[in-house]
Amino acid sequence: MNEAVQPAAHLRLVSDRAAGDASGIKLSGVSKTYRTRDGDVPSLRPLDFHINDGEFFVVVGPSGCGKSTLLKLISGLLAPTTGEILVEGQKVTTPHGNVGIVFQNALLLPWRNILGNVMLPIDMKRLPRQDYLDRAKSLLKLVGLEGFEKKLPWQLSGGMQQRASICRALVHDPRIMLMDEPFGALDALTRERMNIELMRIQRETKKTVLLITHSIPEAVFLADRVLVMTERPGAIAAIYDVPLPRLRSLDVMADPVFTELVQRIRKHFFSQGALD
């Protein structure tokens, strides 16, 4: 247990962090309504929040509340219906190179070996391969995949494939990582290991991370702040600071500060039904 943890009574729960500088990610009045043949599907109500540069920001919310939509809007894969998104001061209008994206499944190309899969963004962006090969190899080493460069995806476990997909999202050195339930398909033990590794990578590389999860303990374990969403059309139910020191070990989950915050967030969903 970490002695530096504050007593639960002193927990500063609702975030009062100031928003406004040009770094990080800023959403102003961002909403999304899908226009379909069967009518409009309001997916997100107007959202206003700011993710700080170098922050580990986690979003939790019930199934279908618009979490993946939010991530697609920030990455520029989708256009908002209203509002404006700024990534490092630049308005997002099309998919941009500043982000690395990790989806729920590793989505590796089966015919490319692990190194080839990690190098995919370099090949797609037509960046000079030679300049990035060493980086790809050192990322694989960072996540414990040294020696697996020449293997094909099927020769690796699900957890190893997901770690490779994280390397792929990092290889072009994006300042921002967007991760949509990246560990959803993993068993509990692998998931815990991945959480610890991701926390370490984020600390070592100082990335801004936006991670979506439906696991409240995972959110509190990883995050500097946790944004809790309401049911669809998603709105912000609350944003919580996580006042637990870094680096965290799994022991932190027994800390009263941790358990109290998990309970507090869980209460948001008692009235709404379960998370997905």
Ligand X SMILES: Nc1ncnc2c1ncn2[C@@H]1O[C@H](COP(=O)(O)OP(=O)(O)O)[C@@H](O)[C@H]1O
Question: Site residues (CB under 6 A) for ligand X?
Answer: 34, 36, 41, 43, 61, 63-69, 232
Beta strand 82-87 pairing with 25-36: antiparallel
Strands (E), 171-268: 176-180, 208-213, 225-229, 236-241
Q: Is 98 one of the binding residues for Mg ion (CB under 5 A)?
A: no
268 binds, among ligand X, Mg ion, none (CB under 5 to 8 A by kind): none
Query: Inter-axis angle of helices 129-142 and 158-170, to 10 degrees?
Result: 140
Nearest alpha carbon to residue 226 among 57, 95, 50: 57
CB of 116 to Mg ion, least distance (A): 28
Backbone angles phi, psi at 256, to 5 degrees: -55, -35
Residue from the set 2, 6, 23, 68 that interacts with Mg ion by CB under 5 A = 68
Q: Binding segment for Mg ion among 66-74, 184-192, 196-204, 250-258 (CB under 5 A)?
A: 66-74
Gyration radius from the chain CA atoms = 19
Choose among Mg ion, ligand X, none what residue 103 binds, the Cβ cut-off being 5 to 8 Å by kind: none
Nearer to Mg ion, 118 or 181 (CB): 181
Rounded CA separation 78/261 (Å) = 33
Could you tell which of ligand X, Mg ion, none binds residue 63, using a CB distance below 5 to 8 A set by kind?
ligand X
Residues 6+ apart with CB under 8 A from 153: 106, 108, 109, 110, 112, 114, 117, 161, 164
Residue 36, binding choice from ligand X, Mg ion, none, Cβ under 5 to 8 Å by partner class: ligand X
Q: How far is the CB of 88 from ligand X (least distance, A)?
A: 24
Rounded CA separation 8/256 (Å): 6
Residue among 153 and 181 whose Cβ is closer to ligand X: 181
Q: Which is nearer to Mg ion, 71 or 160 (CB)?
A: 71
When the beta carbons of 47 and 136 are compared against ligand X, the nearer one is 47
Q: Residue numbers of the site for Mg ion (CB under 5 A)? A: 67-68
